[in-house]
Structure 1
């Protein structure tokens, strides 16, 4: 099976940092952490390629290579996501869609063969089982909040790190607050779920081993959602690790 993971393009706004990034010779601020993690959840024997459209062009050559195109996007990427789906349908390529954009409004999108919504750790395994048995459903959803201590490390070898201003990791999901402008509690729940300190260190070690030296951004919904664990476990562990490695990350 050949899987092409596609991260749609951000529109050119202040927050895309398109012109600022040119001064530091980078193409994008952060890599698509969600898709890199999804890649690790897919069967190891599958062939995988990833195109971040903010970094590289999505050419016909890549689309024609794939058996399935797997798209993940946020709301701001909606227009680009629709165009990717249109191109896939024109070429007769099956489309799987997930992530915040589709979870919050999958009804708006035509041409998607399978919606794998909510958090991939819960909905991707049943989709893969059905796909193997030739009976894939149109929509996969879940009301469960998966234990992210069991989430695999992102598959960093699918990207060129040098094209990004910073790498990123996730320590927690969910937020205990109720801000009226925010959809995080709908997507990831009220109760913060955290990874273990060993898992966080493991992810940093992988980035270090890949040769990354630079910024590492925590993409958490609310990094201080669990203050006690953060103060007693994570921050002291991060401080010690950074000292031992002579401060490779900023």
Structure 2
């Protein structure tokens, strides 16, 4: 059996980092971790190839080689997935699909031959067994959640890692919280299910053996869902692992209550983490109450961010406008909070209702869901009818993005961050890629860019005040260029 695994194209979004990748000579931000893991579930005797459309073109000869195609992805990849499926069907190729996109919207893909949904560790074996017996079904669903101890290591041999800006690894699935707009618990449950430290170290060893010496993204939706296990098992193992390893740094996603645990912060920094994405959502208590973001309530959010920065972890923040409780003043409140916090990477989106969430069900019951969820929560669109009115929401959203990503305010925010951010303990080696990114940024941003005054002001300030933070300053300058390009193309 010749199996072709295909990963659909990501559109240009805040998360794609399209306009930043060219500075470092990379094709895509992250590898297709889900499909690489599915590949490891396939029989060893099968011939396997993977085409990531984000780094390679999908050629007819690839499709003609295959007996069957496996495709997976997220909602934001919907259009590309449909185009790929159409090409496969035109060649009478059997298509097997799974992952968050297909699990959330199975009725939208009737042309797919087999929908292997939910967690592949549970549904894939049943599909393979039926396929071997010549009686594969249309849809496979799981009634519960898998044990991650049964999850195999990804088949990294199917891709060229040097084409990506970061590698990915998964430690846990699930989140203990219950935010109304989030589909994590729908897909993966409330209980944090964990891999063993031995699994993680084995996966890291494999990535390291391949020659990787850059960033590694722990893709967990809430890395700190089980703090006790992190502190007693995984983080000590990571600290031990990196004693004789150079170059790799980690980043992840977590909840704001990370700021309440100085021991956990210290261990994460010693283990090699240097950044964390946190859903801030809103500085407004009423809106936090509305969306059941209980972990963010009754706390000084600015101080919580500052605590995390002072520990040595850079906070990347997610923000939402368009809650029912949002007043017209929310837009300036969001601007003020983002600027004061020093969160350079501020992902601000209009509220969207994701199929399967409690928000979707509530608003659908109120006849306020009007369009298909785009999968991109920072592209200036929404699939709901906001209580404040669409025109007011869009105008306010655009005012936020216009200000926070203007060179004047963005570079000012980066300096605020660097003033507070503890000097990193883990040193990344100066390599050709880092030299290249500096010279490209110096020319494209410092000579040709409209922001050249702010760029050189930041670089000189950093060299004088925080010289060891120069790589961070350059990276954030490049990110700022990407965010502005996305704003100009799709939002403003």
Q: TM-score, normalised by structure 2?
A: 0.50
In terms of mean alpha carbon deviation, does 11-20 or 121-130 score higher? 11-20
What corresponds to 1:234 in structure 2?
A: 234
* Post-superposition offset of 1:94: 0.5
**Superimposed CA distance per residue, residues 173-197 of structure 1 (whole angstroms, 9 cap, x where no aligned partner):** 0111001111010111110000011
**Superimposed CA distance per residue, residues 109-152 of structure 1 (whole angstroms, 9 cap, x where no aligned partner):** 13100000000000000000000010000000002211111211
Asked whether the equivalents of residues 242 and 248 of structure 1 are also in contact (C-alpha less than 8 Å), the reply is no
The 1-side partners of 2:108 and 2:173 are apart by 26
What corresponds to 1:6 in structure 2?
A: 6
What corresponds to 2:248 in structure 1?
A: 249
Asked whether the equivalents of residues 122 and 142 of structure 1 are also in contact (C-alpha less than 8 Å), the reply is yes
1:76 aligns with 2:76: yes
The 2-side partners of 1:227 and 1:143 are apart by 27
Unaligned runs of 5+ in 1: none
The 2-side partners of 1:181 and 1:52 are apart by 29
Query: Stretches of 4+ moved more than 6 A in 1?
Result: none
The 2-side partners of 1:86 and 1:155 are apart by 27
What corresponds to 1:105 in structure 2?
A: 105
**Superimposed CA distance per residue, residues 9-29 of structure 1 (whole angstroms, 9 cap, x where no aligned partner):** 011123211111000000011
* Post-superposition offset of 1:244: 2.3
Which is bigger in relative contact order (C-alpha 8 A, separation at least 6)? 1
**Superimposed CA distance per residue, residues 195-249 of structure 1 (whole angstroms, 9 cap, x where no aligned partner):** 011111111111111111111110001100001001111111111111122x331
Q: TM-score, normalised by structure 1?
A: 0.98
- Give the structure with the higher percent helix: 2
What corresponds to 1:173 in structure 2?
A: 173
Q: Secondary structure at the match of 1:178?
A: coil
Asked whether the equivalents of residues 174 and 191 of structure 1 are also in contact (C-alpha less than 8 Å), the reply is yes
The 1-side partners of 2:171 and 2:147 are apart by 12
The 2-side partners of 1:15 and 1:184 are apart by 18
1:217 aligns with 2:217: yes
Q: Higher Cα Rg: structure 1 or 2? A: 2
What corresponds to 1:66 in structure 2?
A: 66
The 2-side partners of 1:161 and 1:243 are apart by 23
Residues 21-170 of structure 1 correspond to what in structure 2 (within 5 A)?
Answer: 21-170=21-170
What corresponds to 1:194 in structure 2?
A: 194
* Post-superposition offset of 1:161: 0.4
The 1-side partners of 2:242 and 2:13 are apart by 34
Unaligned runs of 5+ in 2: 250-492
The 2-side partners of 1:85 and 1:151 are apart by 27
Q: Report the RMSD for the aligned CA atoms in angstroms.
A: 0.8
What corresponds to 2:481 in structure 1?
A: none
